[in-house]
Amino acid sequence: MNVLILGGAGVIGQKLGRALATLGRLRGKDISRIAMADIAVPDGIPGSEIPVDLLHCDISDPKSVASCISSDFDVIFLLAAIVSGHAEMDFDAGMSINMTGTLNVLERARSLGTRPVIVFSSSIAVYGGEVSDPITDQTFLNPQTSYGAQKAIGELLLNDYTRKGYIDGRGFRLPTISVRPGKANRAASSFMSSILREPLNGQEAICPVTDDFPHNYLSPRMCIDNLIRGAELDSEKIGENRCMMMPGRMWTIRELIDAMTAVAGPEPAKLIRWEVQPEIRQIVKGWRFDLRPDKALKLGLRADESFRDNIRYYLEDDQPFHNVDQTRDRPQ
């Protein structure tokens, strides 16, 4: 079993690589090789007993894709993309990477004739506009951003390439992943991690929306678990519609901050500064909130039980030496 992670330098790509190296198996087979590829060569996986190749790959360039994707890859995780805010500001870059890049990967897989499993990371940004709540697996896609449109196009391509037998595709519409480690990026949703991450690190953060703003969230730890579960799904059980929502849960900004306070005490919340930013609010207000991921739940994918878990996972996985009272707010 050989596995390729496109977007392997990103937060999710790095965590996925480490998780696969620890598991050592995928789809019932031992993993023989993990390749991690990105526009910037990814970091390795320290301590991995499985060989790890670190590759350069620009998915917007068909020649780069051809040099990276060989016929011996059984599973390809297609995580590479530019994020929502960047895609909205730079339309050409978003189309080149998020749309054409996805097509380049699918075309390369088709040319090889090996029908690899391709796990595509889509987004809940494919929803929006004049559709009724709740959003179900049967709701039509109506994105209100360029990023959402590019991801929706990728989903249609994934469906069709699977229908034709070129690949075994499965796509998952990710909720906002929080709490992400590292620095803020150009995603419109980036503040949904930074207003927690920075205060937990003793730094000030700006919240550009009001505290009653609701949204769907999933922790990085659970996202990785779901991507791996998604790769292992039986193709027949997925059915004709290869793309689905990844389970998340809806909380308001205030509930996120209350969860942080319950786990880490009152001091971090004092570092949040409230400054409504119309350009961010304009993007995120088009995202739909009442999502019902019934298909994914029936197939075994999961959401976090509480946002307090999201905070704890961040402290455990990305701040292992953070001094947090693990008994705080636990049932007696």
CA angle, corner 267, sides to 262 and 270, nearest 5? 110
Q: How sure is the predictor about 235, in pLDDT bands with cuts at 50, 70 and 90?
A: very high
Which is more confident, 330 or 19?
19
- Stated as kind and residue range, the H or E segment containing 267 is none
Return the pLDDT at 29: 98
- What pLDDT was estimated at residue 330? 32
pLDDT tens readout for residues 38-73 = 999 999 899 999 999 999 999 999 999 999 999 999
Binned at pLDDT 50, 70 and 90, residue 237 comes out as very high
Look at residues 264, 270, 269 and name the one whose alpha carbon lies nearest to residue 322.
264
- Which residue of the set 127, 147, 217, 314 is catalytic? 147
What is the rounded distance in angstroms from the CA atom of residue 80 to the CA atom of residue 77? 9
> Residues 6 or more apart from 304 whose CB is under 8 A from it?
217, 218, 219, 222, 248, 249, 310
Using only C-alpha atoms, what is the Rg of the chain?
A: 19
pLDDT number for residue 184: 78
214-218/25-26 β-pairing: unpaired
pLDDT, mean over the chain: 92
Q: Evaluate if residue 138 carries a pLDDT over 70.
A: yes
Q: Taking 90 as the threshold, does the pLDDT of residue 287 lie above it? A: no
pLDDT band at 315 (very low <50, low <70, confident <90, very high): very high
| 128 alpha carbon, distance to own chain's centre | 19
Average pLDDT over residues 208-224: 94
Residue 254: how many CA atoms within 13 Å on its side-chain side?
4
Identify the residue with better confidence: 85 or 66: 66
Q: What is the pLDDT of residue 289?
A: 72
pLDDT of residue 286: 66
Q: Give the least confident one: 32-46, 74-88, 310-324.
A: 310-324
pLDDT of residue 3: 98
Q: Is 161 a catalytic residue?
A: no
First to last CA, the chain: 46
Q: How far apart are the C-alpha atoms of 69 and 37, rounded to whole Å?
A: 10
Cβ atoms of 38 and 57 closer than 8 Å: yes
Q: Which residues contact 258 (CB under 8 A, 6 or more apart)?
A: none
